Structure 1
Amino acid sequence: MKGWLEPLLHILTQDSSAGAVGSKLLFPDGTIQHAGVVIIDDQKLPDPLVARHVYYGEPGDVSEANQLRQYQALTAACLLVRKSAFHEAGGFDEAYWNGYEDVDLCFNLQERGWKLVYQPESVLIHHESKSGPERFSKVSENIQRLHNRWIGKIKPDILLKKDGSMAITEDRKIQRYRMPNVRAAQSWAGKQQKLVSIIILTCNALEYTQQCVSSIQKHTGRPYEIIFVDNASSDGTVEYLRNLAGKQVNYKLIENRENLGFAAGNNQGVALARGEYIMLLNNDVLVSDGWLDGLVEGLERDEKIGMVGPITNSISGRQMVRAVPYTDEDGFHHFSQRVRKTYSGRLTPRNRIAGFAVLMRKALYDEVGGLDESFGTGNYEDDDLCLKVRGKGYAIMVDESVFIHHYGSKTFLANNIDYRGSLLVNGSHFKEKWPDADYDELLELHTSLVDLNASMLIKGQEALDAGHPADALAVYAKVLTANPIDDGALYGTGLAFQMSGKTVEAIAAFKKALKVNPTLTHAYGRLALAYESMNQTDDAISVLQKATEFNNRDAAVYNNLGVLYFKKKNHASARNCFERALSIDVNYQEAQQNLKKVSWSSEKITNHTFAHIS
């Protein structure tokens, strides 16, 4: 269909991490043939690795199929692939026989860290499987080859149980895709970056401290200082740190004559920090390119985000990535950059993050009183800090794009500290201090905060459907406390305010939702409707124009934009919009009527047409 190629090119030219972009494919009757491919563990067949087209046979205008998304696989019936990515992945495996070679290629691209993007603005008609009966002559061989190559490596998005019920897996990779903010990135270089004070405690384990410092020096591109706090090392660590601090003006050293413990040492370092942000960092970690930029960008996404941490190979809780595919430092850096490329911008809300790597504002650290020094040498003081931060109404997030290698407990081992004994003693102290805290819930052992928020969003929508906006607002407020950048909760908040007649508040909520996710196309319509209800027609026009940049296949948007232009007596622009709406949907009756009216130009278009926005 006309204009099918440009939307695909736009993704690849604006996002260097995108390896392939696929189109929306429709059958001749307008129903969906392809809107992305979902990977299923089908226990009914059984087949642990089934690739199926999502929304297959659904109407072409179903809203879920008209959103930019990332998938694990896309059909090659129409797939724009970056040439360098294609060669890096080894191209198509020619041992497949007209089936599954596209899924295999996508898995190869994904394994190398490339994004696979579904672009619904690119629309084609697909006459499926017209190559003859030989098309299906080697189905079983193709399936077996795919299984041999990928079972155990590719995690399914959905589990289809024997009883026919479905469950979304925790490892699902399907997610909304957000285009990089090119203008923001270009202006970043001219923006003065805030200083980050990195606090590193040492107590022997010199070898790991040296590796940590070396990795920071090699892979940190923004302004930072390091404040070392040594807790009475005796293995040459103090001499090493003195030498560093003597040569580096942005390095400082505090020497303690006895081991004051993890909490007290960090509090000493923070007290000396000059940065607006502080980074508590264990000395037994390795960092990689972009690590600190990523964490700072995450913290700056919203003023109510209080703490941000990375993911890692060794830690308690949901920050841990199991079975990492590397065995040496080079492998770590390669893997961490794949993670950075694949999950760029993804922040996940958590109840707590571990203290091995924590970024927060110094002002908030001071406000909550820092780390509680009564926890001694270590353990549970990070959980305590998280509860204090949440008690102030701040969210805790994990940046899924920042992977830090953690050797784990090297200070305890180097100093023969009884780690298990420390856990028992401090665990009892933690329970005394927080008697109402459910530690299993804090670690999200049974239900993740992500899943809990998703169920809350359903409750919020149910409250809206029942005509209870106040109840919906209460539900959405809980979600936003845990995740202030949840676009679904922000959009729902706007709907609830709109339903309550609080238009100013609705506008603020819709604007924030779009700031978080500029591809949230239905929010543009609601925001325009809110502006128009306040007779701010120019603002409404501007919003709908922006909406067409992200989805130029929505006939209703062009129709409503035409109505607004007509109201402003801009008949030429109104005509163009109505004609564009009809080019998308030739049977769109309101656009047909409005085109006739603008042609007559003497008959006023009533505002009820504009209310068609949903």
Structure 2
Amino acid sequence: MSQTNSKRQSQILIITGMHRSGTSLATSLLHTSGLDVGDYLMSGQFDNIKGHFEDLDFVKFHEEVLASKGISTQGWTTESKIDVPEQFLEQAQSIIEKKQHKFLWGWKDPRTTLFLNFWQTFLPNAKFLFIYRSPWEVIDSLYRRGDGAFLKNPNLAIDLWCSYNEIILDFCNQNPESCLLSDIDHIIHNDQSFLEEIQQKFGIPLQPNQLSKIYNPSLFNNSKLGKHRPTIIQTHFPKAIEIYQKLNQNCTNILSNYKSDCNGRNSPFSNYQSWVLQDWLNLRQKERELKQIETELEQTQTELEKSQSQIYHYQVQLKEAQTTIIAMETSKFWKLRKLWFKCKNLLKSQLYVHYLNQLKLVIFLSLKYGIPDTIQRLRQDYKIPLSDDINYQKWLALHYPKKSDLMAMAEKLNSLKYQPVISIIMPVFNTPEAFLKESIETVLTQVYPHWELCIADDASTQRHIRDLLNHYQAQDARIKVIFRPENGHISKTSNSALELATGEYIALLDHDDLLTPDALYQVVKFLNQTPEADMIYSDEDKINEEGKLQDPYFKPDWCPDSFLSRMYTNHLGIYRHQLIQEIGGFREGYEGSQDYDLVLRLTEKTDQIFHLPKILYHWRIHPNSTAENLSSKNYATEAAKKALEDALKRREEKGKIVPVEGGHHIIRYEVKDPDLVSIIIPTKNLGNVLNTCLKSIFEKTTYPHYEVLVIDNGSTEQQTKNIFESWKMREPNRFRYETLDIPFNFSKLNNYGVEQTTGKYLLFLNNDTEVIDNDWLEAMVEQAQRPSIGAVGALLLHQDNTIQHAGVVGGVGGVAGHSHKYYHGESHGYFNQLKTNNNYSAVTAACLMCRREVFQKVGGFEPELAVAFNDVDLCFKMLNQGYKNICVSHVRLYHYESKSRGYDDTPEKQARFSQEVKYMKSKWKEFIEHDPCYNPNLTREREDFTIEI
């Protein structure tokens, strides 16, 4: 190995040191003083919000070498020497070649400490700047990160500090002329002196700068550690103190106050190392927990004060309503008429407007239902339910129907021309008395009056069931009850209840769940607007054992492929009675998922399926309910699998049902014909990035019939061209490249690629991706072959295994945004969406497959969208043509994102982006304002599915 030759002699400064020693701070000062530390730097994170200033090329190199040795990619190792395998030498050479044109450059990465001899041999003229920090400060900082390695082994922190700094001392002693050792505390307080020392020792020209412009003292506060931390280290870990003293001795600029820190204290205890650090770690954990609790307590206190004020307001209103009811009970109807005319004179006073509206409603209801029924309705206590979820409580305060809302709905009943009878089906078996009573009461208090409650008791053994049901049946003629002579389970019982039904629509209500008071009114109002509806489903939440609401589920509109992964429509479900009869009602043998089986069969008879984006149903949580824990009823999961297998047979689709976490499933369809897949990859320069992508394709892909076409957008780097030729020789039957040297236009490049290929399936792939799963192409073809499918997307991960893409949501961030961005790759996502297959309005063209015929039918990529939103536009065109787009969760790739093109950081690029935004908002206003695969009650500001308040 030898240093790369260049026409201009580069000056190289390598910055390193133990993790959490202040290397980022020192590098930020050097960067602003003229040292080029890279074009693609690691961004700020929770533990380093100002940024790490780490060149991702070097980070990736170090991580890959460590991984090849079976060592933590973070560098958590005490090995003093790590040899770099020969297969990584070309990668290192490539990184250096990209930098060699720069006059003054370097990089920073704490892991470099583990590779000092390698880089010195590779770059013999390089200079090394080592930053160190006291062991107690580094250990405390590592503990505050909460890394699992230190939670398992607190002593690892001190071992790492010792190992890293011993390596640094040995290297400095062997190479004194090319090394400079500096204490971070000195840099903070003497930044100009620090820069001068570098210039004097290494002859490196740096521009004067002030650390105060980039340094926030609150981010590097050491004083809070107190005097006891150094004492602990001195007493129980003398080796660390010896190393720290050597560092101070070798650092000529040190302003050491080590002795005063340690305070000359000694301890008779010398064998308590483990529990000392464990206590320290525990203390840091408790401090983090306390801070979080204090924040939550402050928020809760604020919400409590608001809620108390709101409760007082409702109590005043309730008192007024009770006074009105008492007056009604002790007077005749015509006195209400007199009161009406008297109240008209009070219209000028805003104080009595709401009171007047109440009296108007009283008269209306009295005329329609009679005084006794009116009194019963007005006695109902319609309070806004409580929730421990602060955001959901805010949403409830805004959207849950108040008494005034319900009164207004009652007034509007006569304006509803279509008022069908809705038959509510309720199977009952040994329901706790309070739950059953509460469930029935939520039907009785519905604003919409044209319903019938059809109850079938499945031979309950508890006496209160019969007594309670007989009581309600006698109270209201709309309640019908049948007592089954023998237990037959839920499917038979539901069918028994169906036999009682005479309504035009069927609603399903579990015997312990609740309806909102406006549920049926909202359904009938929707039916008046959409009379063709054969099935309607609403949003839902859960009610816990304390009677509080939680886990609101704001659902998408009808997404058939999402439904094939999980029964998401669920509650409240409304179905045309005639269709229920045609499919034969519920089937025995599917208990636990009998409603899933019912809807699978019903949706094969109609596509008139609509979503009502309102919370109309409260699903009760108790220890034996599926709402509490789906896995508590394993038979429900097995029944769902059986229902899906039957659905595939009926639809004449071959496939395998695969269970996934959360009690759900994905369908792995059988590939009918393994037709040619044309993989199209636009690129320019950055040969190593492309090489990683190509290597992963050719080494991992098990699908037998594919080709790779690289569209070269005018590469100038010889290394990239060499990589083209190398793969052409290695894969002559599968790889080729074409050159299209035009100003970057993603749409034109890919459209050109389509013209140069013949595959039945097109796969558009970014050059900065890396395949993870061997069967990725099979899994995408499985979906793309289906006639109903337009675009197929994959789950894309950042390098740190957080989500980069899991489907695209219209309207998020202005035009469109990636769902679940920055979720951990192993998380379940919003109601298991990261573990199941889901329809989305769009998927990213960083990895997008479709059939050639679909691509051509919609006109391909739009050339006016050169950079942004071209994939969203393509998917919206497919959606507009009636195709469904899908993101396949079990296809995973890494996506290193925008390495080729860069970022929109110039006026020209920003102007272009503004034009593309304008184009999209003008063309696709409907999908941007209402994404059918996303709920309007969820935020459009972020990608995390939080509630819109």
TM-score (ref. length: structure 1): 0.42
Which of the pair has the greater relative contact order for Cα pairs under 8 Å at 6+ separation? 1
Give the number of the structure whose alpha-carbon radius of gyration is greater: 2
TM-score (ref. length: structure 2): 0.28
